[in-house]
Structure formats: C-alpha cells, structure tokens
Amino acid sequence: MKQIETVVHEMCRYIEEHASTPLTLHAIAKKSGYSASHLQRRFTMIIGSSPKTYQSAIRNQRLKQSLKHQESLGSAIYGAGFGSSSRVYEKLSTTLGMTPKQYRNGGSGLTIYYAMSRTRLGWMLLAAAERGICFLQFAEDKDALAKELRAEFPNAELSGMPRTQNKLFSAWMRQLNDYLDGKLKTLDLPLDIRGTAFQKLVWDYLQTIPAGETRSYTDVAVAIGKPAAVRAVASACASNTIAIAIPCHRVIRGNGDLAN
C-alpha cells in the first residue's frame, strides 16, 4: 500500500478534479484505500483541513475566479459546484467577508472601519468589517497605510472607528501591543480572511506554527500538500494583509534569511 502522505496528496488532486460533484468522506476513503476515520485524521494533519473543507475551499476559489470575470451570479454559483444560490449567500458571506455580488463589485456597499495606533513597529492600522479584522499592517508613514487600505478595498466605504466600537477596537489594539511587547504568547482575534483557496491553505497553516519556530517556503509547500508550489507559497505570504495574526514572519527562505 502507498504511504499515507502520497495518498493524501492524490486525494487532493481527486477532490480538485471533482470539486463540483458531491463527495462524501466514505467515497473519498474508498478511493484512497484507507478507512474513513484514518483518512480524515491524516488528511487534516497533513493538509491542515478536512477533505470537506478542502473541497469547499476549491469551490470558493472557482466562484471567485468566475465573479472576477464578470460572469452572471447564477452561472458562477452553479459552475463552481454549489447546489443553490441560497446556500452560497449563507456560507460565502462569511468566507468572502461579503456577498458574492459585493465581491464581484470590488466590495461596493461594504463598510470597513479602521483606526491607527503607535507601536514598537511603527504605526499600526487595524481595519475590520462586520465579521472581524480584515486588514492589519505596519508602517512609519500613516498616509502610506491609509493608501494601502484604500488600494486593498477600492470600492468599499472606509470610515474611522465609530464611538460605539471604541471599546472593541481598543481591546484589539491592546492585545496586539501586549503581543508585540512579549506579554502574550498567542492572539485571540476574530479574523475576516479573504483569499483564494490556495492562499487560505497557506494562511491557515501559518497560524499553526508555534511562536518562536520558523518554516521555510518549501516546508510550508510540503505541509499543505503542494510540494511543487514553493513560489506560490511565497506569493501567498506576500499577499497577506493581516500581519502578525497570520504570521508570515515565521516563514523564512531556504538559506535562513528572513522573507520580505
């Protein structure tokens, strides 16, 4: 029998090829030659998500690509393998941080609140939509941070932190500052993560790297079941807009140098 790591990677390809088809864990396990419980456990350990979550991520990625090409909502939804538009609006408003229509329109109609604070790393800009933090970056120039936020969400309505959210934002800011000062070892923040299926695989894995440890781009690529995608891993790290909470700083080049 093949090694389980090889089988898991083969099942990733199988899920990708049949992403629009309803797949049960039992059917995938039968294809793999392993029991459902064993496959589920090892798949999650190696890839960082269950087979069901992996398939959902692939569908989400295809839907995003279709929406970016301005396909009709109906065609994009059914073409990605979703059974009904209502299920998409229920689930994707969470994974996209907005409805499919808002995503296709570049965030139009979405309100994002933001605030800035001085930290040991310079100015920090923290922005959040209704489901959590969607942008967290550092710079010495406040204006540069504001421009970066606008570039990331060109069609959203950006607004300064409202008084009603002052306590919540202050708590997030305080937790981040305590983390940067070494008073906290982990962060517990609600994140509103947007990205392709591949980017989310990378970012989810990064959040499992223990504080004080590092991984190379190659290590990450192997861990998520994409050993040939080293450059794509580097690109995903560079595309991360939620610094610290998604710890791209724990990924280094193969020669030991820090990544940009």
Structure tokens at 137: 């970056």
Structure tokens at 164: 């009603």
Tell which residue, 181, 174, 112, 186, has the closest CA to residue 149: 112
What is the predicted pLDDT for the residue at 46?
81
Tell which residue, 243, 6, 213, has the closest CA to residue 124: 243
Is 134 one of the annotated active-site residues of the chain? no
Tens of pLDDT, residue by residue, the chain (260 residues): 578 888 988 998 899 888 878 889 999 999 999 999 999 998 888 877 789 888 877 777 766 666 555 455 555 555 555 555 445 554 555 455 555 555 555 556 778 899 998 888 899 999 998 778 989 999 999 999 999 998 888 888 899 888 877 788 889 988 998 888 888 888 888 888 777 778 888 998 898 888 888 999 999 999 888 888 898 899 899 889 899 999 998 898 654 454 54
What is the predicted pLDDT for the residue at 253?
61
Instruction: Give dist(CA 158, CA 155) in Å, integer.
Output: 9
pTM above 0.95, yes or no: no
Tell which residue, 124, 129, 93, has the closest CA to residue 113: 129
